[in-house]
Amino acid sequence: MQNRYLPKVDLGFFPTPLIKLSKLSSALGGPEILMKRDDMTGLALGGNKTRKLEYLLHDATSKGCDAVITAGAAQSNHCRQTAAAAALLQLECHLALGGDPPETANGNLLLDNLLGAQIHWAGAKRKGETIPEIFERLRAQGKKPYVIPYGGSNELGAYAFVNALQELEAQLDTTQLSHIVFASSSGGTHAGLMLGKALLQKAYTLVGINIDKGDSDAVPFDRFILDLADRTAELIGSTVKFHGDEIHLEANYVGDGYGVVGELEKEALEITARYEGILLDPVYTARAMGGLLDMIRAGVLTSEDRVLFWHTGGTPSLFAYAEKLNKGM
């Protein structure tokens, strides 16, 4: 695979492990299931956003920026990893978080505070709508801020997952792989995997499990992913272009919306923990695993398939959902 090289800073532990979920596969009587452990990237309890931040923060430091701003939900894994990366590089970190200050900080929010991030509560606006005013305030203070988009999902963030697929190629004969299943939320991981697959000329199917219902007045999520994949290809000098029939975005598992934990997520958390000793997170990977379990039971994925589940991390948020998860256990 030939493409323009993009520089990065080293923030995580790579390659992340690739393992077989043999007990879970056997219990389901379905396909062989593998797992790519991006929950073990190492940066403040890990997660897939570390890959994106290596490129984004190289861009920030190369431009002489001394502060970073990003946004997310109160329990954002992306924000926690951004806070950790900023601490490592000694950059000021500002997080625009959805919601209001809780009485007690736990989960990712507790870690944000420990890592020294400055929190700006944004109420119903969790996708960065308040970033411009934070940016201008910091500039007025003489700072040189750098904006990291929601989920780290721009061309630099997506490029990280082009490289992630190259990493996978060194670990696995992917000609025997039928599907890669993963949580799709801010779009960068999905776009990068699509571009990486195209550049590597692979035949497996990418299945993004949609995590969020999205905003009715925004660009349709599948269109956003396709456009981001095209822009990322252009960034690295590739002529690859994507069309609507090239994206598989599974929207049947969003339930009651982002961050709302239902029976699908609870069962996925329990079955993965009790068969494999692996912890998922309640918002992203449990919903994605729940979708995978349902596709196996519905016969969409069979014993003839070989499936890779990409664990994107997020385990600290389990503790923020303790009350909901304890019910019925």
User: Which residue shows structure tokens 């000694």?
Assistant: 90
- Residue 323 pLDDT: 87
- Residue 239 pLDDT: 94
CATH architecture of 49-152: 3-Layer(aba) Sandwich (3.40)
- Residue 244 pLDDT: 87
User: What letter represents residue 19's amino acid?
Assistant: I
**Which tokens go with 251?**
């929207």
State how far the Cα of 3 lies from the Cα of 97, in Å rounded to an integer: 36
Is residue 8 left, alpha or beta, with left meaning phi > 0 and alpha meaning psi from -120 to 50?
Answer: beta
- Residue 118 is inside which H or E element, if any? strand 118-121
- Residue 3 pLDDT: 63
Mean pLDDT of successive 10-residue stretches along the chain, which has 329 residues: 80 98 95 98 97 98 98 95 98 95 94 98 80 96 97 97 97 97 96 97 97 74 96 96 93 92 96 98 97 97 97 96 79
- Residue 215 pLDDT: 62
Instruction: Give the chain's largest Cα–Cα span.
Output: 61
Of 218, 217, 168, 220, which Cα lies nearest the Cα of 192? 168
User: What letter represents residue 207's amino acid?
Assistant: V
Residue 25 annotated among the catalytic residues of the structure: no
State how far the Cα of 277 lies from the Cα of 24, in Å rounded to an integer: 10
Quote the distance between the C-alpha of residue 303 and its chain's center.
Answer: 28
- Residue 329 pLDDT: 56
Of the chain, the end-to-end C-alpha distance in Å amounts to: 48
Crossing angle for the helix pair 77-89 and 49-62, nearest 10 degrees? 40
Of 194, 195, 186, which Cα lies nearest the Cα of 236? 195
Q: Which of 22, 26, 62, 76 is catalytic?
A: 76
CATH architecture of 18-47+154-326: 3-Layer(aba) Sandwich (3.40)
Q: Domain-by-domain residue ranges, the chain?
A: 18-47+154-326, 49-152
Residue 162, judged by CB atoms within 10 A of its CB (0-12, 13-18, 19+), counts as buried
pTM for the whole structure = 0.95
